[in-house]
Structure 1
Amino acid sequence: MAEDEVPKTEPGLFDLDAVVVGQPKRSRWRRYLGPALAVSTPEGATLASLTCTDDTHYVLTHTSGEVIVRIEHSGPAEFRFTDAAHREVGNAGAPGLFKSLQLGLRTDQGRHLFLTRPGLPFTQWHLTETAPEGVPTQGILGRVTVSTIDSWIGLQQYVVDMDPRLEAGDRRTVVAAVICLHLLRRPPGDSAAPA
């Protein structure tokens, strides 16, 4: 390889326009000990996994074990995101009675994003940018579509489609927010139907 050539690598997690956040498949008959959620390509290649350190702290790591983002659940629907060095890189919060209908996000660059779905029967959330006062400022920047991949156990997956206008930091916040949506809809250990 010539000195000026750069080795080709696979795209990183936040270079992709689409990822899948979902509960890994498991046996119905054995106790499951794996990660709470996995982040993969639409083709199924695992990129990262989420583990719970306790009821309020979660860590998303690359398959190599490198920390991508830590998620701290504080209050009924407030989340704080920090990086491997424990610097805050964003947050999310859900106002209102139905916590899984809307989620306000703030990225590490101060960008305000908003995930919302029209009502409980809908399976898709839209991602928009908002002005500081909460008014949408432009078109849809992404979509999050939920589906059940195992109706017996009730395993869920979220397909996250993101607009090329989103930068890596924005995408990190969106992926973390989708994890938060799952935690609001399906708290760890909760066998009730999702909201």
Structure 2
Amino acid sequence: MPDAGPFDTTAFVVGQPKRSKWRRYRGPALTVTTVEGTELARVTHADDSRSLLTTSSGAFVVRIDRHIRFGQFGPVRFRFTDAAGEETGTVTARGLVKTRQLCLRTEGGRPLLLTRLGQLYREWQLTETDPEEVPAPVVLGRVTVSTIDAWIGLQQYLVETDPALDASERRTVIASVVCLHLLRRPPGEGSAVG
């Protein structure tokens, strides 16, 4: 398995960097930091269907390609590829309400689900099976969404993962949070939709 980059820790913050409403912002679309604030990676949007995740020093981590079927209400699939063009993971969102559950597949082929129990929930759970099943599955991580600037509408995602996940699986989880953000706020749009 290739090097997973800066994803050896278990907690991250993925968020939109602070900016001024009065000046044109030219920085990355999202940053990935430690909880303490040390920048680990950046996300830039090449266009509406392709984003790049790089380390803070500029080294390539993963490319995120977005494929939409049947217009804005159809299923959305994200494909993660490394510098050699090899697939390192996928995320699929199905149905009319795309942001209730994301189906992840890691580089090693492990299926994971990122689910929130209802539209008003701010917390997403990372599990191997549907959280509504009985008995409830083991929670492998959590993603908590918050707004850090209500005036501009900047979003932040606190990502906490189980130490049992390896660095490449955490890389897939981080990339899936980028996908979650893209589903909620496509590039160039200012307000959340889900």
Q: How many residues align?
A: 182
Distance 1:81 1:137 in 2: 29
Residues 1:51 and 2:44 aligned together: yes
Report how far residue 188 of structure 1 moved. 1.1
Task: Look up the match of 1:104.
Answer: 103
Identify which of 14, 25, 28 aligns with 1:21: 14
Residues 1:72 and 2:61 aligned together: no
Task: Look up the match of 2:143.
Answer: 144
Structure 1 stretches of at least 4 aligned residues deviating more than 6 Å after TM superposition: 134-137
Task: Look up the match of 1:86.
Answer: 85
In structure 2, the CA distance between the partners of 1:81 and 1:15, relative to structure 1 (3 Å rule), is: same
Contact residue 48 and residue 186 of structure 2 kept, 8 A: no
User: Which residues in structure 2 correspond to 1:111-190 (within 5 Å)?
Assistant: 111-130=110-129, 138-190=137-189
TM-score by length of 1: 0.88
Distance 2:59 2:134 in 1: 36
Report how far residue 46 of structure 1 moved. 0.8
Distance 2:136 2:54 in 1: 33
After TM superposition, the structure 1 stretch with the greater mean CA deviation from structure 2, 144-153 or 91-100, is 91-100
Structure 1, residues 139-166: CA drift from partner, whole Å, max 9, x if none? 0000000000000000000000000110
- Secondary structure of 2:142's counterpart equals strand
TM-score by length of 2: 0.89
Distance 1:43 1:150 in 2: 19
Contact residue 130 and residue 136 of structure 1 kept, 8 A: no
After TM superposition, the structure 1 stretch with the greater mean CA deviation from structure 2, 56-65 or 76-85, is 76-85
Report how far residue 97 of structure 1 moved. 1.5
Report how far residue 85 of structure 1 moved. 1.6
Structure 1, residues 156-180: CA drift from partner, whole Å, max 9, x if none? 0000000011011111110000000
Contact residue 129 and residue 136 of structure 1 kept, 8 A: no
- Secondary structure of 2:157's counterpart equals strand
Larger Rg: 1
In structure 2, the CA distance between the partners of 1:16 and 1:65, relative to structure 1 (3 Å rule), is: same
Q: Identity percentage over the alignment? A: 59
